[in-house]
Amino acid sequence: MVALKLFFSFVMFIALSVSSTAAKRHIHMGTQRIDSNWYDAHATFYGDMTGGETMLGACGYGDLFKQGYGLETTALSTALFNNGLTCGACFEIKCHNDPQWCYPHAGSIKVTATNFCPPNYTKPDGNWCNPPLKHFDLSMPMFTKLTVYKAGIIPVNYRRVLCHKKGGVQFQIKGNPWWTLVLLYNVGGAGDIKDVKIKGSRTRSWWSMSRNWGVNWQTGMNLRGQSLSFRVTTGDGKMIEFHNVAPANWQFYQIFDGKLNF
């Protein structure tokens, strides 16, 4: 009888362990997926096939080719941009329900949010970037993967997806001795940044940075002559500490590789 009870206890332990593991796996998969639902929106394009007009922009990125984004980018309307909080997020987009313009079997494209499509309240209609409309202003090469450029604007389905970036998160340090501005790019995972903290080699604790604009974070601390570490949290709550990213002799406008990514 004792042996039988021990056997059933062992079976229950295994069952609970498997159930717990499955639950964790489900949560993990849910995080990886971000959002499996498709939503309605519209899309058009700006710039030309070279992407020259898509550089820089409201998220604070610079040369998107050098920073690894290339032309796989989009500007977001007010409803999606969320005052810059969505910068760096990745989207999967497909042309939807327009037999005249949607390429048959075009599939979908994946793009990173790097800019803002501003609203225009001076015209009575045709303002696709005005709230509450959800709109993607794609680079021309991305738009023409779904349709011909003369389509102008197309209905699309979209969803948030995981950002897949090569290499580590990149940190560019700008500013002056009394004000440090850090541009973060090549962020994987959720892509968008919710919180950044900084610590110098001579400070005892992490100090919160405030968002200046887009993906640029700032602090008024004088950190010259110290190696710098960062604690970065993405929009889904995942946090990574990047230790000693910049050496003590760092200079303004240098770029440092965080080695790790989400």
Range of the domain at 197: 170-257
pLDDT of residue 123: 78
**In sequence order, what are the residues at sequence separation of 6 or more whose Cβ sits closer than 8 angstroms to the Cβ of residue 214?**
58, 59, 60, 61, 84, 87
Segment 144-186, tens digit of pLDDT:
999 998 898 999 999 999 999 999 999 999 999 899 999 999 9
Which position has the higher pLDDT, 32 or 211?
211
Short-list 47, 56, 54, 45, CA closest to 128: 45
Answer whether residue 215 is part of any domain.
yes
Residues 119, 61 within the same domain: yes
The pairing of strands 109-116 and 39-46 is unpaired
Instruction: Report the C-alpha gap between 185 and 64 in whole angstroms.
Output: 10
pLDDT of residue 33: 56
Structural contact between residues 169 and 186, judged by C-beta atoms closer than 8 angstroms: yes
Q: How many CB atoms lie within 10 A of CB 123?
A: 8
State whether residue 19 is helix, strand or coil.
helix
Residues 136, 176 within the same domain: no
Domain termination site, one of 144, 161, 178: 161
pLDDT of residue 116: 97
Task: Copy the structure tokens of residue 6.
Answer: 């021990």
Answer whether residue 32 is part of any domain.
no
23 pLDDT above the threshold of 50: no
Answer whether residue 12 is part of any domain.
no
Segment 96-150, tens digit of pLDDT:
999 999 999 999 999 999 999 999 988 777 789 999 999 999 999 999 999 998 8
Segment 222-252, tens digit of pLDDT:
999 999 999 999 999 999 999 999 999 999 9
Instruction: Report the C-alpha gap between 46 and 84 in whole angstroms.
Output: 19
Instruction: Report the C-alpha gap between 102 and 148 in whole angstroms.
Output: 8
Mean pLDDT of 2-25: 39
Residues 150, 212 within the same domain: no
pLDDT of residue 6: 41
Residues 127, 174 within the same domain: no
Residues 120, 209 within the same domain: no
Residues 55, 156 within the same domain: yes
Residues 134, 245 within the same domain: no
pLDDT of residue 94: 98
Overall domain count for the chain: 2
24 pLDDT above the threshold of 70: no
Answer whether residue 80 is part of any domain.
yes
Residues 201, 157 within the same domain: no
Omega cis (within 30) before 132: yes
CATH code (residue 188): 2.60.40.760
Residues 200, 237 within the same domain: yes
Domain termination site, one of 118, 144, 161: 161
DSSP string, 210-234: EEEETTEEEE----TTS-EEEEEEE
Domain termination site, one of 161, 191, 212: 161
Q: In the 8-state DSSP scheme, what is residue 105?
A: T
Residues 102, 140 within the same domain: yes
Residues 156, 253 within the same domain: no
pLDDT of residue 204: 82
Please tell me the pTM assigned to this model.
0.84
Short-list 52, 76, 74, 72, CA closest to 63: 52
Omega cis (within 30) before 104: no
8 pLDDT above the threshold of 80: no
Answer whether residue 15 is part of any domain.
no
Residues 102, 182 within the same domain: no
Answer whether residue 25 is part of any domain.
no
Answer whether residue 232 is part of any domain.
yes
Mean pLDDT of 248-261: 97
Segment 35-83, tens digit of pLDDT:
899 999 999 999 989 987 888 899 999 999 999 999 999 999 999 999 9
CATH code (residue 68): 2.40.40.10
State whether residue 79 is helix, strand or coil.
helix
Answer whether residue 211 is part of any domain.
yes
